[in-house]
């Protein structure tokens, strides 16, 4: 009886010791902090077979990624995937990332313009912190049979869709409404007073619009269920959500708003205290291969910054993408510039007031 | 020798609870308190001050949400008591043997699944295209879909449902310990049901009522899932606000201050509740 217990104890101690020891070079554990769909099982299996590394995936979102890394001063993960506009301010405030070593990246795998744009947007103190991976947009997801006249963000406030509208109470809503009202929030990013003026106008509009809203949605599954059940017929959401719903119900799809869809790029960044940089670089170079990039697009629903990454994407998804975006709509995408530190405090106060308004 | 050994045993037995208290409760709270009195003056620059607490009192939204959360939690506690007491009385006094066990078990079965699943269950029942709405329509009582989700009543239903077990269990325990002959004696002396309830049953059950109320109030005040998922666009809840400050606003300092204010509020309400009911904490927790 006691012998058994001792054996168990010894086994537990050895297991802990093995975990605590730094892994031998060549076979690391990659702790990946990413979005749902960006690291499909089949891709992980292939990566593990080819490189010998193992991958542990944690799915999250922009804010939680930063909060998690902040809590550990950039430890606990070896590779993270925040959007490109959230890198420099987080680095300035919390110092949670480390610079990318460009010589270890196979840069020929990346679409050059996207690689350059992301490098520029994620440069802090002369060092590059981010590489582009997956990009997409947010705009309107509309039931075209019931709310075909909703073509812009402010159309969500029309009486024809009253009580059947949903959007998030988050910063994309502020930005989208501002563009739809003829303002240019991105141009005012660096001027706090001008930005506050824009926020004040948007606040008044959102408070006016509040009776139209059924509920402010929180998670992707929530808005999909609201749209699928027909309880909501017009909403602000991500393009992939609209395309997924379109597969079930041909009436529902993503509409690029007249004022422009809001474009984001999710990146690769190295957390400051990551331990498996080799595995992280291996993963980046692996998933940017055209065949792997197509696999990720097929599960995540969004396209990647990989050269020829759309070659193996299934035809339905391509058709939906082309249905939502013609060339003019693509040219009209408003790409998020880096968020200056402190801007979120202004936006937060505005969102709080909208939330509290009766 | 024996006293040394028993003292060692005492400390060994005490160690887990001490470790628990110090490592998981006291140390994190000290850290949180230090964060709550830090004010941000620039990127990575902080200085000490009470600005975060001042921000709470300066912004009506914050203290209104705070008051709203407290009032709704008290209301939820009262409702839980009103609903839980008859159930507990029935289980403890009017049933015996196997029926009693079965009923008690039935109260517990919903708690075998997680709170998230139970809350989603309520969403399926209450939503516009949900079970209740369809039922009303098929009975001809409503012409279109009826939305019962996304309002304060839905939050209240969720809170009461989530916490009713924590009211029923202490009540059943205290009511069980009430000797039936006392009730019979009351009847023999000519009392009616109301006065027996008032003079015998409720005074005896008081420790159970108070401890149940404390637990339910704490659970409601600190609940995050139920108000967020069932509440609507006007339904603010203080824990949701703490989450927002920590996660979406990156403002740990204000979030930590909110956390401490919530701690102070819950302690204050429990203290006032004990004073009003004339109970002491040790008696309440000791007897039930």
**A218-251 residue pLDDT tens:** 888 889 999 999 999 999 999 999 999 999 999 9
Q: Would you call A266 helix, strand, or coil by DSSP?
A: strand
pLDDT, residue A91, reads 92
The pairing of beta strand A123-124 with beta strand A127-128: antiparallel
Using pLDDT thresholds of 50, 70 and 90, give the confidence band for residue B279: confident
Nearest Cα neighbor of B214 from B153, B149, B283 is: B283
- B28 falls within a domain: no
Q: How far apart are CA A178 and CA A194, in angstroms?
A: 12
Q: Are residues A69 and A170 in the same domain?
A: no
Using pLDDT thresholds of 50, 70 and 90, give the confidence band for residue A260: very high
Name the B residues in 7-36 with CB < 8 Å from any A CB. none
Tally of structural domains, chain A? 2
Q: How far is CA B16 from the centre of its chain?
A: 26
pLDDT, residue A194, reads 95
pLDDT, residue A2, reads 40
pLDDT, residue A343, reads 87
Say how many CB pairs under 8 Å bridge A and B.
59
Using pLDDT thresholds of 50, 70 and 90, give the confidence band for residue B280: confident
Q: Are residues A47 and A148 in the same domain?
A: no
How much is the mean pLDDT over chain A?
89
pLDDT, residue A24, reads 43
Under an 8 A CB cutoff, do A231 and B129 touch?
A: yes
What value of ipTM does the predicted structure carry? Answer: 0.80
**Mean pLDDT for the stretch of residues B5-21:** 88
**Mean pLDDT for the stretch of residues B179-198:** 90
Q: How far apart are CA B126 and CA B148, in angstroms?
A: 5
Q: Are residues A148 and A106 in the same domain?
A: no
- B17 falls within a domain: no
pLDDT, residue A22, reads 42
**Mean pLDDT for the stretch of residues B112-130:** 90
Query: Is A229 an interface residue toward B (CB < 8 Å)?
Result: yes
Residues A176-225 pLDDT 10s: 999 999 999 999 999 999 999 999 999 999 999 999 999 999 888 889 99
pLDDT, residue B2, reads 58
Residues A68-94 pLDDT 10s: 999 999 999 999 999 999 899 899 989
For A178-216, give the DSSP string: HHHTT--TGGGTT-HHHHHHHHHHHHHHHHHHGGGEEEE
Distances (CA, A) of B140 to A105, B124, B129, B135, B146: 66, 20, 15, 9, 12
Under an 8 A CB cutoff, do A355 and B61 touch?
A: yes
pLDDT, residue B146, reads 86
- B38 falls within a domain: no
Q: Are residues A298 and A276 in the same domain?
A: yes
Under an 8 A CB cutoff, do B248 and A70 touch?
A: no
pLDDT, residue A3, reads 42
Q: Which tokens belong to A211? A: 């009776």
Residues A58-73 pLDDT 10s: 999 888 999 999 999 9
* Host domain of residue A6: 2-135+264-331
**Mean pLDDT for the stretch of residues A105-122:** 93
Q: How many CB atoms lie within 10 A of CB A31?
A: 22
Tally of structural domains, chain B? 1
Q: Are residues A245 and A273 in the same domain?
A: no
Chain A residues whose CB is inside 8 A of the B244 CB are 348
**Mean pLDDT for the stretch of residues A164-170:** 93
Chain B residues whose CB is inside 8 A of the A353 CB are 61
Q: Are residues A307 and A350 in the same domain?
A: no
Q: Are residues A214 and A256 in the same domain?
A: yes
Using pLDDT thresholds of 50, 70 and 90, give the confidence band for residue A130: very high
Half-sphere CA count of A266, side-chain side, radius 13 A:
25
Q: How far apart are CA B280 and CA A257, in angstroms?
A: 62
For B230-261, give the DSSP string: H--TT---HHHHHHIIIIIS--HHHHHHHHHH
Q: Which tokens belong to B179? A: 């000797």
Using pLDDT thresholds of 50, 70 and 90, give the confidence band for residue A16: very low
pLDDT, residue B286, reads 59
The pairing of beta strand A334-335 with beta strand A262-268: parallel
Residue bearing the bigger pLDDT, A277 or B249: A277
pLDDT at A173 over 90: yes
Distances (CA, A) of A240 to A96, B239, B270: 29, 31, 48
pLDDT, residue A18, reads 43
Under an 8 A CB cutoff, do A93 and B251 touch?
A: no
Under an 8 A CB cutoff, do A215 and B228 touch?
A: no
pLDDT at A9 over 50: no
Nearest to A352 among B61, B147, B247 (CB): B61
Q: How many CB atoms lie within 10 A of CB B279?
A: 19
Q: Which residues of A119-140 are buried (b: 16+ CB within 10 A; e: fewer)?
A: bebbbbeeebbbbbbbbbbbbb
Using pLDDT thresholds of 50, 70 and 90, give the confidence band for residue A26: low
pLDDT, residue A11, reads 44
Give me the CATH number covering residue B269.
Answer: 1.10.3720.10
Residues A328-345 pLDDT 10s: 998 999 999 998 877 888
Nearest to A215 among B232, B244, B248 (CB): B232
**Residue ranges in chain B assigned as alpha helix (H):** 2-19, 27-36, 51-58, 60-89, 97-108, 115-126, 131-138, 152-176, 180-188, 193-196, 202-221, 225-230, 238-243, 252-277, 281-287
Residue bearing the bigger pLDDT, A7 or A153: A153
Give me the CATH number covering residue A13.
Answer: 3.40.190.10
Radius of gyration of chain B (CA): 24
The count of residues in chain B is 288
Nearest Cα neighbor of B155 from B218, B90, B220 is: B220
Closest residue in A to B230 (Cα–Cα): A215
The pairing of beta strand A234-238 with beta strand A131-143: antiparallel
Distances (CA, A) of B95 to A91, B174, B185, B191: 65, 15, 20, 23
Query: Is A353 an interface residue toward B (CB < 8 Å)?
Result: yes
- B10 falls within a domain: no
* B150 contacts B229 by C-beta, under 8 angstroms: no
* Host domain of residue B92: 64-287
- B37 falls within a domain: no
Chain A residues whose CB is inside 8 A of the B252 CB are 70
pLDDT, residue B285, reads 66
Chain A residues whose CB is inside 8 A of the B150 CB are 214-215
Query: Is B78 an interface residue toward A (CB < 8 Å)?
Result: no
């Amino acid at each position: 009886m006691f012998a058994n217990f001792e054996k168990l104890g010894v086994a537990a101690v050895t297991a802990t010791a093995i975990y605590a020891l730094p892994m031998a070079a060549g076979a690391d554990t990659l702790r990946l902090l990413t979005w749902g769909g960006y690291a499909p099982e089949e891709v992980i299996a292939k990566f593990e077979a080819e490189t010998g590394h193992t991958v542990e995936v944690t799915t999250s979102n922009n804010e939680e990624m930063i909060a998690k890394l902040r809590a550990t001063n950039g430890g606990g993960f070896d590779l993270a995937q925040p959007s490109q506009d959230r890198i420099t301010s987080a680095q300035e405030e919390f110092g949670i990332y480390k610079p990318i070593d460009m010589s270890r990246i196979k840069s020929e795998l990346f679409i050059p313009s996207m690689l350059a744009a992301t490098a520029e947007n994620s440069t802090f103190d002369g060092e590059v912190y981010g590489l582009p991976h997956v990009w997409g947009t947010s705009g309107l997801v509309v039931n075209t049979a019931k709310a075909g006249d909703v073509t812009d963000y402010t159309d969500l406030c029309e009486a024809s869709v009253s009580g059947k509208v949903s959007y998030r109470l988050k910063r994309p809503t502020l930005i989208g409404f501002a563009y739809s009202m003829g303002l240019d929030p991105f141009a005012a990013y660096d001027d706090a007073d001008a930005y506050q003026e824009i926020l004040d106008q948007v606040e008044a509009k959102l408070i006016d619009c509040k009776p139209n809203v059924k509920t402010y949605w929180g998670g992707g599954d929530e808005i999909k269920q609201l749209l699928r059940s027909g309880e909501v017929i017009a909403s602000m959401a991500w393009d992939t959500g609209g395309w997924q719903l379109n597969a079930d119900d041909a009436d529902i799809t993503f509409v690029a708003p007249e004022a422009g869809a809001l474009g984001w790029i999710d990146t690769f960044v190295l957390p400051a205290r990551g331990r498996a940089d080799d595995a992280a670089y291996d993963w980046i170079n692996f998933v940017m291969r055209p065949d792997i990039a197509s696999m990720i697009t097929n599960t995540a629903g969004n396209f990647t910054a990989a050269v020829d990454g759309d070659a193996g994407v299934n035809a339905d998804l391509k058709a939906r993408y082309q249905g939502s975006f013609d060339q003019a709509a693509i040219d009209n995408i408003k790409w998020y510039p880096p968020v200056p530190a402190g801007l979120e405090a202004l936006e937060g106060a505005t969102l709080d007031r909208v939330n509290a308004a009766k | 020798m024996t006293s040394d050994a028993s003292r060692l045993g005492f400390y060994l037995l005490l160690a887990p609870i001490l470790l628990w208290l110090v490592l998981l409760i006291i140390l994190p709270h000290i850290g949180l308190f230090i964060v709550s009195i830090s004010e941000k003056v620039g990127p990575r620059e902080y200085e000490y001050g009470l600005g975060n607490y001042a921000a709470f009192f300066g912004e009506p939204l914050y203290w209104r949400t705070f008051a709203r959360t407290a009032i709704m939690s008290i209301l939820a506690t009262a409702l839980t008591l009103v609903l839980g007491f008859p159930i507990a009385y029935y289980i403890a006094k009017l049933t015996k043997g196997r029926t009693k066990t079965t009923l008690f078990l039935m109260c517990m079965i919903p708690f075998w699944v997680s709170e998230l699943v139970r809350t989603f269950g309520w969403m399926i029942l209450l939503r516009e295209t949900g079970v209740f709405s369809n039922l009303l329509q098929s009975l001809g009582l409503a012409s279109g879909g009826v939305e019962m989700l996304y309002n304060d009543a839905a939050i209240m239903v969720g809170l009461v449902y989530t916490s009713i077990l924590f009211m029923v269990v202490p009540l059943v325990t205290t009511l069980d310990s009430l000797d039936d002959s006392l009730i019979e004696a009351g009847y023999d002396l000519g009392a009616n049901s109301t006065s027996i309830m008032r003079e015998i049953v409720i005074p005896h059950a008081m420790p159970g009522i108070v401890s149940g109320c404390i637990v339910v109030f704490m659970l409601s005040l600190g609940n995050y899932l139920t108000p967020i998922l069932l509440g609507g666009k006007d339904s603010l809840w203080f824990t949701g606000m703490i989450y927002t400050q920590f996660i979406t606003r990156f403002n740990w300092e204000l979030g930590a201050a909110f956390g401490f204010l919530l701690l102070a509020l819950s302690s204050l309400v429990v203290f006032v509740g004990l004073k009003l009911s004339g109970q002491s904490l040790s008696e309440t927790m000791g007897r039930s």
